[in-house]
Amino acid sequence: MEENINMSVDEAAVEPVVSAEGESVAVAAAPEKPKRRINQQKLQDNIWGWIFCLPLIIGTVWFVYYAFILSLILSFTKYTGNDGSLMDAIANFDVYVNTGEWGAAHWYYDLFNYTSGTSQSWQTQGVVMNEMGRYLFNTVFYMIGIPIGMILSVFFAVCMSRDIKGGNVFRVLYYLPCVASAIAIVYTFKIMFRTDGVMNSLLGLKDFTYPDNNKGFVWIPEGVNIGYSWCTLLGKEVTVSTSDFMKDPFWCQGLFSKLVIVIMSVWKGLGGTIILYVAGLSGVNAATKEAAQIDGANGWQIFWKVTMPDLYPTIFYNIVTSVIGGLQIYAEPELLFSTSASSAGFPNVSGFVALIYKYGLTNNKEYGKGAAYGFFLAIIIFVLTLFQFWLDSRNKD
């Protein structure tokens, strides 16, 4: 190694001198020297290329790929927190392997058939849905924030990219929520959306007393599983008791509580997407725009026929990343509705990740089950992403 470096350095130092002295010398030296130099250089390139990449490769393989493969293996076992180390479980796979309706894939069977706590009235009444379905429904419900946020951010981005003074100031102000800590935001919104809070004051719902005598509209319920829904608001006889709220079908329960999360995530995510769209809009061809203007197109037509096609890659990127991120929603609903440090997973409001946490890391620490649920999430995300790319490719033809 040392020798190689020295040699290449020597030759590199010699070369300019040679060319400076005269052509004849350079030609005479040419047949032998360059060949050796290139090989030296190639060796150097290979060694240093790998060295520079090594930390990142080790990190990725160790913490992502290795963990992912172990996840897949674990998902076929009944390994829990009470058992030995992870390596022990992998080595004795035949001992830990799951036995159930679908053999080793029992947790995947469980995923589609398990209905936890069916003794509770709110889970049997209304439209019955198994647990995974309820949590997935919540996750998908939160994704209605994606199109709303997209329309709003394109609108604001178009406003900002007009040549007005102080556009940068607005960009910074709109980006503020993105850098703020989720927990601070959640605690703020939790109080702002109280029955006697500022939101009800602004929306004129402070004296709202239907369907119970609670003064003010209940956005975020105090208890665990209650909350207004369309059904309760549209004339169902409701007393204050918890169980009556839960006679609504599952998709209706806690509707307005979920809406708070949607409002919050739109508010928090707007700035980031606006910056993306402003960047995308600055790339829109000004000459095409002017040509359209001269041909008599109005602003609306220019927006749809010239600006939007140019903005399409940004929008596509944005949708893909938003869907991937949206499926992984966890902290916001948990923080907004948790009442004690030990609570995990609310069937009315929690995202799918809460289910992974609930089974994998609380109570019995059923690592195998958690891993299976996690793997299922990975499959969903992968399939959805592929689907979007397929739509995109079909769109281009």
Partner 1 sequence: MAENENMVTKEAPLPGSSTQQEIRDYYSPLRYGWGAFCAFFGFSTKTHRASKKRAKLVMDIATYLVLLFGAFLMVYPFWWMIAGSFAATYPQNNTPIFTLIWWPSQSTWTMTLDKGGVKEPMGGFFNYIYFFGDAFASGASMAGFAEGFTYWRALLNNLIYSIVPVVVGVITSASAAFAFSKIQWIGRDVVFMLLLAAIMVPGPSIMITQFVMYSDMDWQVNGLVLIIPGMFGSIMTAFFIRQFLFGLPTSIIEAAKIDGAGYFRIFVQFILPLAMPAIMAQGLLSFMGCWNNYMGSFIMIPQNSPAINLPHAMYVLNNAMFQGNQGPNIAGAVMCVLPVMILFACFQKLIIGSLMLTGSKE
Q: Which of residues 370-389 bind partner 1 (CB under 8 A)?
A: 370-371, 374-375, 377-378, 381-382, 385
Q: Kindly identify the residues of this chain, within the stretch 69-128, that bind partner 1 according to CB under 8 A.
A: 70-71, 74, 85-87
Q: Kindly identify the residues of this chain, within the stretch 254-273, that bind partner 1 according to CB under 8 A.
A: 267, 270-273
| Closer residue to partner 1 (CB): 184 or 294 | 184
Sole binder of partner 1 in the list 7, 38, 198, 291 (CB under 8 A): 198
Q: Residue 363 interacts with partner 1 (CB under 8 A)? A: no
| Closer residue to partner 1 (CB): 60 or 121 | 60
- Contact range with partner 1 by CB under 8 A, out of 95-103, 108-116, 124-132, 156-164: 156-164
Q: Residue 276 interacts with partner 1 (CB under 8 A)? A: yes
Q: Residue 341 interacts with partner 1 (CB under 8 A)? A: yes
Sole binder of partner 1 in the list 33, 177, 289, 316 (CB under 8 A): 177
Sole binder of partner 1 in the list 77, 307, 314, 348 (CB under 8 A): 314
- Contact range with partner 1 by CB under 8 A, out of 142-150, 198-206, 224-232, 304-312: 198-206
Q: Residue 164 interacts with partner 1 (CB under 8 A)? A: yes
Q: How far is the CB of 326 from partner 1 (least distance, A)?
A: 11
Give the span between the Cα atoms of 76 and 96, in whole angstroms: 8
Q: How far is the CB of 324 from partner 1 (least distance, A)?
A: 7
Q: Could you tell me how many residues of this chain bind partner 1 (CB under 8 A)?
A: 106
Q: Residue 63 interacts with partner 1 (CB under 8 A)? A: yes
Q: How far is the CB of 176 from partner 1 (least distance, A)?
A: 6
Q: Residue 286 interacts with partner 1 (CB under 8 A)? A: no
Q: How far is the CB of 94 from partner 1 (least distance, A)?
A: 19
Spell out the SS3 assignment of the chain: CHHHHHHHHHHHHHHHHHHHHCHHHHHHHCCCHHHHHHHHHHHHHHHHHHHHHHHHHHHHHHHHHHHHHHHHHHCCECCCCCCCCHHHHHHCHHHHECCCCCHHHHHHHHHHHCCCCCCCHHHHCCCCCCHHHHHHHHHHHHCCHHHHHHHHHHHHHHHHCCCCCCHHHHHHHHHHHHHCCHHHHHHHHHHHCCCCCHHHHHHCCCCCCCCCCCCCCCCCCCCCCCCCCHHHHCCCCCCCCHHHHCCCCHHHCCHHHHHHHHHHHHHHHHHHHHHHHHHHHHCCCHHHHHHHHHCCCCHHHHHHHHHHHHHHHHHHHHHHHHHHHHHCCCHHHHHHHCCCCCCCCCCCCCCHHHHHHHHHHCCCCCHHHHHHHHHHHHHHHHHHHHHHHHHHHHHHC
Q: Residue 62 interacts with partner 1 (CB under 8 A)? A: yes
Q: Residue 147 interacts with partner 1 (CB under 8 A)? A: no
Sole binder of partner 1 in the list 145, 149, 197, 333 (CB under 8 A): 197
